Structure 1
Amino acid sequence: MNRFVVISGCSGGGKSTLLAELQRRGHAVVAEPGRRIIQEESLRDGRTVPWRDMAAFLRRAMDMALADLADARSESGWVFFDRGLIDAAAALQGLTGNPLLAAPGGGHRYYRRVFIAPPWPEIYRHDAERRHDLDEAITEYDRLLRTYPLLGYEVLLLPKTDVSARADFVLNALNGS
């Protein structure tokens, strides 16, 4: 059984808060590649950030997501990923038009159910790593909502509720599978 679960969806939809709750409950969590890259690049005034070189940023996010998958093999139980390889590949394919999704959907599979955070304007906020607006976040969400099923994943939309109930929803859906 594949234990690697993706939490994806709209930027600002509460994914990181949900992952923090899952970690608090004792599950392994892998932080979002994009945020880690931006934090690293900001420390050295690097160029591999979305607002300077989106293609390079997405390629680096794909590389980091592959490394995350390899590193997660040492974990036991469910491992929750804040985004992952498919998110970065879908964005790069959308940017360049080059078909990239066959490879990530093939040999590097996540668990068959993917949890998608819908747009949630009431909690959406800009921050140092999230400079894009809600309309761009919704475009990203729509792309992911189309992409995951095309690659054979079952998409479950996260309810817009408190974080504890969201974590219960995820764990119940996994334990009931």
Structure 2
Amino acid sequence: MKTKRIVIIGGPGSGKTTLIEHLENQGYSCMHEISRQVILDAQQEGIAQLFLENPILFSEKLLEGRLTQFNEAETFDDEFLFYDRGMPDVTAYMDYINAHYPNKFDEICEQHRYDGIYLLPPWKEIYTQDNERYESYEQAEKIYTFLLKGYQKYGYTVHEVPIGDVEFRENYIINHLNSTF
């Protein structure tokens, strides 16, 4: 059985990490978001906001880490492997800030395909900012749009997950996956 790679995407503060942690607690295999670690590593090196100061370097580090996560699916024997963000998030964020990026970014996203994309919409009631999440809620709404367009650019069908508690969202995704695969 080939493990299906399923990506959970959404703007900052939309509940992705909570959903991924919940799925993991339910026994599903998950790959966690790596951007917070990239940000913390840069801050330890004296770079306050690597994405803002050197978006290409930040994005290269993310793409490299997410490609590693993508390839790790070969070592899993589960039906589904869930990712907290995928490789096309990198180009979507670069498009959001209107930054040029190397063609290899697109090539990597085109050559390494996920099996399902689930988008969490902005949810004002749960949105918070913190040390690594510096975007305003209004910016999170714009990022949501760039993520949707960014995945569609690579030919993905993006499934929007309705707002609801974490169990509702899990059930929505699992029921959709079970009816799809």
The TM-score with structure 1 as length reference comes to: 0.89
TM-fit CA distance, 1:105:
3.5
Alpha-carbon distance in 1 for matches of 2:47, 2:11:
26
- Counterpart of 2:164 in structure 1 is 161
RMSD (Å) for aligned C-alpha atoms: 2.0
List aligned pairs for 1:21-170, cutoff 5 A: 21-46=22-47, 49-77=50-78, 78-94=80-96, 95-98=98-101, 100=103, 102-111=106-115, 113-170=116-173
Q: Mind listing any 5+ residue stretches in structure 1 that lack a counterpart?
A: none
Alpha-carbon distance in 2 for matches of 1:109, 1:33:
19
Q: Does 1:10 align with 2:14?
A: no
Given that residues 2 and 110 in structure 1 are in contact (C-alpha distance below 8 angstroms), is that contact kept between their aligned partners in structure 2? no
Return closer, same or farther for 1:105/1:2 CA change in 2, 3 Å cut-off.
Answer: farther
Judge which range, 40-49 or 143-152, deviates more. Answer: 40-49
Q: What amino acid is the match of 2:134? A: R
Given that residues 47 and 53 in structure 1 are in contact (C-alpha distance below 8 angstroms), is that contact kept between their aligned partners in structure 2? no
Given that residues 32 and 82 in structure 1 are in contact (C-alpha distance below 8 angstroms), is that contact kept between their aligned partners in structure 2? yes
Alpha-carbon distance in 2 for matches of 1:132, 1:158:
22
Given that residues 48 and 54 in structure 1 are in contact (C-alpha distance below 8 angstroms), is that contact kept between their aligned partners in structure 2? no
The TM-score with structure 2 as length reference comes to: 0.87
Given that residues 6 and 81 in structure 1 are in contact (C-alpha distance below 8 angstroms), is that contact kept between their aligned partners in structure 2? yes
Percentage identity across aligned positions? Answer: 28
TM-fit CA distance, 1:93:
4.3
TM-fit CA distance, 1:52:
2.7
Q: What is the SS of the residue equivalent to 1:130?
A: coil
TM-fit CA distance, 1:39:
2.7
Q: What amino acid is the match of 2:17? A: S
Greater share of residues in helix: 2
Count of aligned pairs between the two proteins: 176
Q: What amino acid is the match of 1:122? A: E
